[in-house]
Amino acid sequence: MQRPNILFVHCHDLGRYLHCYGVDTVQSPNLDRLAGEGVLLERMFCTAPQCSPSRASLFTGRYPHNNGVMGLTHAEFAWDLHPKERHLGETLRDAGYRTAAIGVIHETRSGAARCGYGDHAPRPRAEQAVDNAIARLRELAASDEAPFYLSVGFLEPHRLPQPDRDADMGFVAPGIEPDAELGVQVPGYLQPTEGTQTELAELQGAVRHMDTHFGRLMAAVDELGLRDNTLVAFTTDHGVAMPRAKCSLYDPGLGVATIFRMPTREGWRGGIRHDALLSNVDMLPTLLELLDIEAPKGVQGRSFLGLMDGGAYTRRDEIHGEITYHDYYDPRRCIRTETHKLIANFSAAPAFMDPSQSWRPRSDTIEPPNHATAYHPKIELFDLRADPWELHDLGGDPAHAEIRAELMGRLYAHMRDTQDPLLDGAVTSPMHTAVVDLLQQAGG
């Protein structure tokens, strides 16, 4: 029996900011429809709250500190996959899939061929990407000699340059308008100020824009007769680009939307929702087990195919998140269980890395109330049952010393077992190495 086609759609900076994930003021009818026809994973978390490291985990099944992408891959950030890392596209290509990519590739700086893609149309804005994806789908559908794997990456709802605010980045752009038609639902980690509400209305407009073009892509799948033999997977890299979400190890930074639809397979259709604790490092082994393709050696994620199929599987009791470099060196590691989150901070950096990319951010956090004077403690601890927005740090509370010690031990064991380089000292960036080389060359 021929394996199914795979349409893997991913976008930047969405988190779970969709109507089908409970954000009632967001208009996302096409993704809501996919969830209603398929399977929605309510508690999928990424390994890293930043673009390149999270995607590297998604496509290799390995943690950022193991696959080599501990920071951004573009420009002078210059992180990249280790040469021997196996990308999902490479594995599917070698198993006989026709492979192609549209739009965002942000897990490597070495190009589409490094990921196993036969071709790549790079324009990432949603409208352009869907135009190119539909054209490519027509070509792929014209021949059924082998199944295809098409990766489609949207830029939206990533922040974009604002033409009327030279020093700022926001969510609107030509073709994207703010959307407050159903109001604005302010998440519990942000103050409901005018600036926050204005910015969230922009974000809602960007999500609605992305969803509209996703709907065009799904209509093309139906039009081309691909619906029944195509697995559609949709996800994002990390949380929304709001303060204390993206670039943070709090749940708003690590929680990601994940939806599957496979009409011909029981358990992969029908509006099912699963609340199991999952990590996006688990995506690759799950897809490969579904396709009966052997996973590359060294994969650290665990398949949740049994969960999807209604059978046995090993349920996670913890997930791990990390950040090493993004805008600057700010190494942090966390462990999250069903009830608690513990974060270990390895530098006295600001309390959170602000993803606003603006000279004067418009949104304000509840905690800390004054970002300019707040810095990391060594250890943070949160009781997620009483404090789901992680606003009350219990790390220094003697009443919680026992759970603090337990989670510190479990986090250390994870770092030790995965050979996290932070245990050996500070991590050197590619730019640091490059500058040392330049100085040595100049010094003769």
Cα–Cα distance for residue pair 406/211, rounded to 1 Å: 42
- Does the pLDDT of residue 301 top 70, yes or no? yes
**Per the domain annotation, does 438 fall within a domain?**
no
**Per the domain annotation, does 48 fall within a domain?**
yes
Q: 154: which strand partners?
A: 11
Q: What is the CATH number of the domain that holds 266?
A: 3.40.720.10
Cα–Cα distance for residue pair 115/93, rounded to 1 Å: 10
159 and 89 in a common domain: yes
Q: How confident is the model at residue 168 (pLDDT cuts 50, 70, 90)?
A: confident
Q: What is the CATH number of the domain that holds 345?
A: 3.30.1120.10
The pLDDT value given to residue 360: 87
- Percent of the residues in the chain that have a pLDDT greater than 90, as a whole number: 95
**Per the domain annotation, does 61 fall within a domain?**
yes
| Nearest in space to 188 (alpha carbons), one of 238, 250, 247, 278 | 250
**Per the domain annotation, does 437 fall within a domain?**
no
Other C-beta atoms within 10 Å of 82: how many? 12
Side chain identity at 386, as an amino acid letter?
Answer: A
Name the strand (E) or helix (H) holding 344.
Answer: strand 340-345
**Per the domain annotation, does 441 fall within a domain?**
no
282 and 163 in a common domain: yes
Q: State mean pLDDT over 126-149.
A: 96
391 and 294 in a common domain: no
Q: State mean pLDDT over 59-65.
A: 98
**Total domain count, the chain:** 2
Cα–Cα distance for residue pair 295/305, rounded to 1 Å: 13
DSSP per-residue letters across 117-161: -S-EE---SHHHHHHHHHHHHHHHHT--SS-EEEEEEE-TTS-EE
**Per the domain annotation, does 443 fall within a domain?**
no
Mean per-residue pLDDT of the chain: 97
338 and 245 in a common domain: no
Q: How confident is the model at residue 2 (pLDDT cuts 50, 70, 90)?
A: confident
Sole residue written with tokens 């309510």: 42
- Percent of the residues in the chain that have a pLDDT greater than 70, as a whole number: 99
> Where a domain ends, among 251, 282, 309?
309
The pLDDT value given to residue 189: 98
The pLDDT value given to residue 167: 64
| Nearest in space to 231 (alpha carbons), one of 312, 291, 276 | 291
354 and 296 in a common domain: no
> Tens of pLDDT along 340-350?
999 999 999 99
Q: State mean pLDDT over 175-191.
A: 97
Cα–Cα distance for residue pair 290/286, rounded to 1 Å: 6
Cα–Cα distance for residue pair 180/168, rounded to 1 Å: 21
The pLDDT value given to residue 429: 98
359 and 215 in a common domain: no
Side chain identity at 64, as an amino acid letter?
Answer: P
327 and 299 in a common domain: no
| Nearest in space to 81 (alpha carbons), one of 103, 107, 58, 102 | 107
267 and 130 in a common domain: yes
Q: How confident is the model at residue 381 (pLDDT cuts 50, 70, 90)?
A: very high
334 and 187 in a common domain: no
95 and 57 in a common domain: yes
Q: Give the tokens for residue 409.
A: 């031990």
416 burial (CB, 10 Å; 0-12 / 13-18 / 19+) is: exposed
Cα–Cα distance for residue pair 246/327, rounded to 1 Å: 12
343 and 229 in a common domain: no
> Where a domain ends, among 273, 290, 309?
309
**Per the domain annotation, does 104 fall within a domain?**
yes
> Tens of pLDDT along 312-327?
999 999 999 999 999 9
- Does the pLDDT of residue 145 top 90, yes or no? no
- Does the pLDDT of residue 352 top 90, yes or no? yes
The pTM score is 0.97
- The DSSP secondary-structure symbol of 382 reads E
**Per the domain annotation, does 422 fall within a domain?**
yes
Q: How confident is the model at residue 164 (pLDDT cuts 50, 70, 90)?
A: confident
Q: State mean pLDDT over 86-112.
A: 98
Q: How confident is the model at residue 1 (pLDDT cuts 50, 70, 90)?
A: low
152, 102 Cβ separation under 8 angstroms? yes
Which residues span the domain enclosing 93? 5-309
> Tens of pLDDT along 415-443?
999 999 999 999 999 999 999 999 999 99
Cα–Cα distance for residue pair 342/324, rounded to 1 Å: 16
Q: State mean pLDDT over 10-18.
A: 98
The pLDDT value given to residue 163: 75
- Does the pLDDT of residue 364 top 70, yes or no? yes
394 and 282 in a common domain: no
The count of residues in the chain is 444
> Where a domain ends, among 309, 339, 359?
309
The pLDDT value given to residue 274: 98
Q: Give the tokens for residue 379.
A: 């250890």
| Nearest in space to 237 (alpha carbons), one of 55, 82, 97 | 55
CA-CA distances (angstroms) from residue 218 to 225, 255, 429?
11, 24, 41
